[in-house]
Amino acid sequence: MKAAILGKKLGMTSFFKEDGVQLPCTVVEAGPCPVVQLKTKETDGYSAIQVGFGKRKKNRTNKPLEGHFKKNNVDPTQNLKEFRDLPAENIVENKLTIEQFKKGDKVKVSGTSIGRGFQGVVKRHHFSGVGMTTHGQSDRQRHPGSIGASSYPSRVIKGIRMAGRMGGKTSSVRNIEVIEIIPDRNLILLKGSIPGSKNSLVEIVIN
């Protein structure tokens, strides 16, 4: 069954399974996400459910946004996101809640990876570095080495991996197992790690 929700990554801890196996787990505070707009094929060209997550201060909400939220009688939320072709059965009391998921489900989690700034090729692309400190070189351990041939083609081929900004991009991990769901606190425990820093927005989806 399709399911989707927005959440906030809280951090990581350990979990003991029934058979005593210790698992690393990430705790995410997910939902409840009020439905802000229902998009349909007839009016918008595609069908989707637009939901919100998190509180937005009144003085940070501009007039057009306020009107948009008012249309569906929803308090302004920090984030807005659309989920395409999500069945209407997932909406309970005009909200997407954590109850869509159950223990053992395999989910896809997307978030913005931790920004690492300007990084060299060893960290960014797992190059092994030029390496040696002997044979006449002593200062090139983490360099990229050659980036192409000489007079032909006389230029660097597009897409050569080099140093640059790393992280801070949308990243997804698939097939993450749901270990536990705590509905009264809107918490979901996922096996292993997920993209993003603490308190960052994540999207949990079953396709």
Partner 1 sequence: MNTIDLIGAKVIEQAIESRKKKDGDNFAEIPDFRPGDTVNVAVRVVEGEKERIQNYKGIVISRRGAGVGQTFLVRKISNGVGVERIFPLFSPMIQSIAVMRKGNVRRAKLYYLRGMSERKIRQKTK
Give me the residues that bind partner 1 (CB under 8 A), please.
10-16, 18-20, 22, 27, 29, 185, 187, 189
DSSP SS3 for 188:
strand
Closer to partner 1 by Cβ: residue 11 or 145: 11
Burial class (CB in 10 A: 0-12, 13-18, 19+), 51: buried
d(CA 45, CA 78): 26
Distance of closest approach, residue 19 Cβ to partner 1, in angstroms:
7
Nearer to partner 1, 25 or 35 (CB): 25
Q: Select 86 or 179, whichever has its Cβ closest to partner 1.
A: 179
The CB-of-14 to partner 1 minimum distance in angstroms stands at 4
Q: Minimal distance in Å, beta carbon 149 to partner 1? A: 52
Q: For the chain, list the strands marked E by DSSP.
A: 3-16, 22-30, 33-39, 48-55, 77-84, 91-92, 95-96, 106-112, 117-119, 164-166, 170-182, 187-191, 201-206
CB of 135 to partner 1, least distance (A): 38
**Beta carbon nearer to partner 1, 62 or 199:** 199
